[in-house]
């Protein structure tokens, strides 16, 4: 944890996990959270502010929760965080809203024990190395799929890692019909946000049109709402992304509970 002139940072594994400006609480500093926010706009209930449920697997400082509370006010938000210290820091230093219900549990254990359906599930869970092996496997993704409502969407924060990304791509394509790849443009080694949305189909042009319309709508709604403050419009954020279908790969191994630890250990994260 670091604080500097109103800027609060949560560090983990030597990396920034969350950044928040107390003086500008609507501003999203981290590019990967901006990208997750753009992916979330594809949920079919967004425009109408339909009631529903969100499950965050991994809390961090709760920055994405702030975005969801602001733009998806009819969604009940739950978060799963196994580290009680992180929960405490999010409450004390990041002003995590009391409306966010946090479960002190492991993400996979929680999904196995609870059968509730969610409209949006977000995976943003990292240990000191990467996503925990038990949250990378096809078995885990199948469990996530079971917990989604019929039109529910799944968003996962991953990294572009040369000798791991092909395995992740193969695994996501096995479980989800048409997963999408969102990343900064250009990007060969940073965050890759994967979106699984069952109502989108596999038409990149249609997805592009939908995102442009919803980014513009978000900017207009935020401008009209009192108290809105943000340094970059969502149209601008979208313009800096490269979005396409998760590509099929020939050299990808399906990640399973049996091989996830070994495949992750063999990956080069430097």
Q: Which residues are catalytic?
A: 124
Dist. CA 76–CA 100, nearest whole Å: 8
Burial label for 167, CB within 10 Å (0-12, 13-18, 19+), is: buried
Burial label for 156, CB within 10 Å (0-12, 13-18, 19+), is: buried
Distances (CA, A) of 186 to 25, 48, 89, 155, 270: 28, 33, 33, 21, 19
Dist. CA 99–CA 76, nearest whole Å: 8
Q: Which residues of 68-94 are buried (b: 16+ CB within 10 A; e: fewer)?
A: bbbbbeebebbbbbbeeebbebbeebb
Dist. CA 49–CA 36, nearest whole Å: 18
What token pair was written down for 86?
């992180």
End-to-end CA distance of the chain: 23
Handedness of CA 22, 25, 31, 36 (dihedral sign): positive
């Amino acid at each position: 944890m670091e604080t500097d002139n109103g800027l609060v940072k949560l560090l983990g594994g030597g990396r920034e996990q969350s950044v928040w400006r107390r003086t500008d609480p609507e501003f999203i500093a981290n590019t990967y959270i901006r990208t997750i926010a753009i992916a979330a706009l594809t949920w079919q209930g967004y425009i109408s502010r339909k009631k529903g449920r969100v499950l965050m697997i991994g809390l961090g400082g709760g920055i994405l929760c702030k975005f969801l509370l602001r733009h998806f006010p009819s969604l009940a938000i739950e978060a799963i965080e196994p580290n009680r210290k992180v929960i405490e820091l999010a409450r004390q230093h990041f002003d995590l809203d009391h409306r966010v219900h946090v479960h002190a549990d492991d993400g996979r254990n929680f999904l196995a024990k609870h059968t509730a359906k969610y409209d949006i599930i977000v995976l943003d869970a990292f240990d000191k190395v990467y996503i925990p092996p038990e949250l990378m496997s096809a078995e885990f993704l199948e469990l996530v799929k079971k917990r989604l409502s019929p039109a529910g969407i799944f968003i996962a924060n991953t990294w572009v890692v040369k000798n791991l990304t092909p395995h992740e791509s193969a695994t996501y394509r096995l479980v989800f019909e048409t997963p999408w790849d969102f990343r900064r443009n250009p990007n060969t080694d940073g965050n890759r946000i994967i979106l699984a949305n069952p109502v989108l189909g596999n038409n990149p042009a249609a997805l592009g049109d939908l995102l442009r319309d919803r980014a513009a709508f978000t900017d207009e709604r935020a401008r009209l709402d009192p108290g809105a403050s943000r340094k970059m419009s969502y149209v601008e954020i979208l313009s800096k992304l490269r979005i396409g279908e998760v590509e099929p790969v020939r050299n990808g191994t399906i990640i399973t509970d049996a091989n996830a630890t070994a495949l992750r250990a063999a990956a080069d994260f430097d």
